[in-house]
Amino acid sequence: MENQRENRCLLFDWGDTLMRVFPEFDGPMVAWPQVEAMPHAEAVLAELRTRSILAVATNAADSEEAEIRAALERIGLDMLLDKVYCYRKIGHKKPSKEFFEYILADLGLQTSQVIMIGDDFEADVVGANNCGIRAIWYNVRADEKRESPMHRTIYDLRSLPKTLDSFWNPGELSRRGS
């Protein structure tokens, strides 16, 4: 299974996807007086880690990779994530093609081998889709559902593994031609 893991990557947005954003705090999240994981994030990451490379892909402007990792460490998620891709290192933000192209090049993977998961439909889903990367919208704010061959909607991280299974279907990949 390790070979399969090396050939697949799940990109997770950071704020309000893996860690809750508290609007009353500013500056680097690692320095916030309170931090917390989104519900079920640790258990879901632990399950998915056996099947895929796991990475953070964030537009956070206040934090560099070391600060992001330190914030993740405060809630026990740091050891579950293989890579951190942040705006301050890449120099481009989601939804730009440059952001996603940098990640693909660093991973050495094709678009069909990567799925983006995030709470911002435009930045995370549309941005990834515009680069040929499938995405899952983690919608925690409304009942709205948006589905297409390139994206799905979830409302609870616990439904992510099952939703991913439909995206990793080899028949779907070959029909898509990526």
**Interval 31-68: pLDDT, tens:** 999 999 999 999 999 999 999 999 999 999 999 999 99
The whole-number pLDDT of residue 126 equals 98
Q: Is residue 177 part of a domain?
A: no
The whole-number pLDDT of residue 166 equals 82
pLDDT band at 167 (very low <50, low <70, confident <90, very high): confident
Q: Is residue 55 part of a domain?
A: yes
Q: Is residue 154 part of a domain?
A: no
Domain around 64: 2-144
Question: Does pLDDT of 173 surpass 80?
Answer: no
Question: How far are the Cα atoms of 57, 61, 72, 78, 98 from residue 157, in angstroms, in the given order?
Answer: 17, 25, 17, 17, 28
Going by the DSSP 8-state scheme, the letter that residue 132 receives in this structure is T
Q: Looking only at Cα atoms, what is the longest distance across the chain?
A: 48
Q: Is residue 52 part of a domain?
A: yes
The whole-number pLDDT of residue 169 equals 64
CATH assignment of the domain containing 133 = 3.40.50.1000
Q: Is residue 137 part of a domain?
A: yes
Q: How many domains does the chain have?
A: 1
